[in-house]
Amino acid sequence: MCGIIGICAIKRNVAPMISLGLKRLEYRGYDSVGVALVLNESRVHVLKARGDVDSFLSRFKVSEFKAYTGLGHTRWATHGAPSDVNAHPHTDCSGRIAVVHNGVIRNFSIIKSILEVRGHRITSETDTELIAHLIEDEIPFSSNFFEAFIRAISRLEGSYALAIINSSEPNKVYFARLKSPLVLGLGDGFNIIASDIPAVIEYTRRVLTLEDGEVGWITPTEVKLFKLTDDGIAEVKYESIMSRVRFIEWSFEEATRLGYPHFMLKEIVEQPNAIKSTYDGNIDDPIVKLAASLLNEANHIVLVGAGTSYHASLIISYFLSKIAKIKSTPLIASEYKVVEDSISREDVILAVSQSGETYDTLEAIRAFKSRGAKVIGITNVVGSALSRESDIAIYMRCGPEIGVAATKTYTSQIMVGSILAIYSAIENKSLDNSSTRNLIDDLSKASDILGLSIKTSLSILNDSPLRGIKSMYILGRGLGSMIAKEASLKVKEIAYIHAESYPAGESKHGPIALVEEKFPVYFIATSDSLEIIGNIMEMASRGASIVVVKPENVNLNISSSHSINVVDMPPVNSLLLEPYTLIPYFQLLAYKEAVARGYNPDKPRNLAKTVTVE
């Protein structure tokens, strides 16, 4: 999982454009960085190093180079450790061909042995370098570079988004896409190929999302696009390319920090607006109603998602049951094989993915689709693989999320799922008109509740709320146990604290053995599970240091004989609203502690925003 960019231009230096593009793509990976520039026709000039984009750009003074064609790459290591030599771009033996790649080549060992036997000097441990050598290897058997490129990629198994330059054709960037995202930005006197839209919108808002099996090249003034099929290669007509060009309306400012120290904080604070946009965009959308009918027709419903999206799926599944009396099974996407054999054409898969590009989630839906199941996708990214491969795509419409840790997209996913549950209940008549109106009215208050909750949390959380803590439990029951899973993921992934979450009723079946004097335990108490008081008391009796976070109007009758810290969040009159009053506290708890410990919450170690690998 990496970010790639390739630009060619007339009368415009691409070096600063690539530099900025790399900054915008850094969320996709940041363990090493590189650029390749065509400075003359004899070879490609490559600069690359382990480390992040800022250090790379200042160390190599990239913007001071002058070139009309070039590539950039920011890496999240898969094959080969993060190192200078494994950083992209990679070149062939002659140094004339440079490649940047996002994806994984599965048959790389066999290709490597073949290339070595044929005398190629492979210098890195990466699968990507092989692509440069494969093209070089095919050149003698091909009538031109493009043919050699096609012959080379036809030998690859796995996934790739590729951008390639060749110093003999100084004004062209070749590209190809299979199972890894790639967009084309069409400019005036330049064209850009990149992994994602933020890398291009500084320069152009005319964007086209490429599809699997598409290959081609850009020059400063032309785009050539072809589709690879089992029967060969077919050119995509100019009119058809143009009909797919979208004008990106979201502003670049929406994708930047706007003065906040971190994207994560900005995205937590903008949740009231984000959720409002999700609500407004979906509450009357016929697509959501169509999805609700499909859910009602299903024999069985499986929800799939990874990480935070899985945690949102748990809540969506709960609301489908509570509101619409519909049974569903939430599943971690990478574990889809657990139910695969029982899936049939009567079943519906509800896939939840912010990016719409998560490998595990896509693999799951592809496996289920091949057994005839229908797919409803909930995603934030129009044109993403999930949106294209779903029978029905519902959009979260909460604006781009740049911080690696998901925050606003979590609350937005829950909102979409809640609307879906309400429409499913209308469809199967498990709700009468007045209850429906009440629930819709409740949801319309989510934005205000989020705003109040953020304000309350900011006023009570100090700068290092988890000072000195190495390990902790975050527990809940019912809805609270699902929110606790997300809360503990946030604390783990950005503050690097071991925060374990399990349903509070399980303590006595094992985990309470770890509890000793002052062991930190957070409880999330929700109105559906007041019996949590018993679990709080059993921890308190063993000397745990307890914090109970709950909506103010959830009354637990906590005995004053134990010193339990109770954090009251804004009151809400509906279970549907409880996630919005409770989660900001934990998002901000994790954020503040990460900053206090000197970690950058926008770049958690070992993680990347979009996980396009197995």
Q: Please report, as ranges, the residues that interact with ligand F6R according to CB under 6 A.
A: 306-309, 353-355, 358, 361, 405-406, 489, 493, 610-611
Q: By C-beta, is 354 or 424 nearer to ligand F6R?
A: 354
CB of 389 to ligand F6R, least distance (A): 13
> What is the rounded distance in angstroms from the CA atom of residue 449 to the CA atom of residue 189?
48
Q: Which of 23, 48, 485, 609 is catalytic?
A: 609
CB of 333 to ligand F6R, least distance (A): 8
User: Do residues 591 and 461 make contact, with C-beta atoms less than 8 angstroms apart?
Assistant: no
Angle between helices 479-495 and 307-324 (to 10 degrees): 170
Other Cβ atoms closer than 10 A to 263: 24
CB of 329 to ligand F6R, least distance (A): 18
Cis omega (within 30 of 0) for bond into 89 = yes
- Among 200, 205, 199, 257, residue whose Cα is nearest residue 23: 199
Q: By C-beta, is 196 or 493 nearer to ligand F6R?
A: 493
User: Do residues 328 and 302 make contact, with C-beta atoms less than 8 angstroms apart?
Assistant: yes
480 three-class SS: helix
Instruction: Indicate if 455 belongs to the active site.
Output: no
End-to-end CA separation in angstroms for the chain: 10
CB of 361 to ligand F6R, least distance (A): 5
- Among 533, 528, 531, residue whose Cα is nearest residue 574: 528
Q: Which of 2, 172, 276, 485 is catalytic?
A: 2
> What is the rounded distance in angstroms from the CA atom of residue 162 to the CA atom of residue 178?
9
User: Do residues 344 and 372 make contact, with C-beta atoms less than 8 angstroms apart?
Assistant: yes
Q: By C-beta, is 36 or 608 nearer to ligand F6R?
A: 608
Q: By C-beta, is 364 or 532 nearer to ligand F6R?
A: 364
Instruction: Indicate if 2 belongs to the active site.
Output: yes
Q: By C-beta, is 414 or 611 nearer to ligand F6R?
A: 611
Distances (CA, A) of 507 to 229, 512, 526, 568: 55, 5, 18, 24
CB of 606 to ligand F6R, least distance (A): 12
Q: By C-beta, is 134 or 482 nearer to ligand F6R?
A: 482
CB of 499 to ligand F6R, least distance (A): 13
Q: Which residue is nearest to ligand F6R (CB)?
A: 307
Structure tokens at 120: 């190629």
CB of 609 to ligand F6R, least distance (A): 7
Range list of H helices, 496-573: 532-540
Structure tokens at 20: 């900025």
Q: By C-beta, is 72 or 307 nearer to ligand F6R?
A: 307
Q: Is 537 exposed, middle or buried (0-12, 13-18, 19+ CB in 10 A)?
A: middle
Block residue for tokens 């799922």: 417
User: Do residues 212 and 179 make contact, with C-beta atoms less than 8 angstroms apart?
Assistant: yes
Structure tokens at 469: 């803590």
Catalytic sites, residue numbers: 2, 609
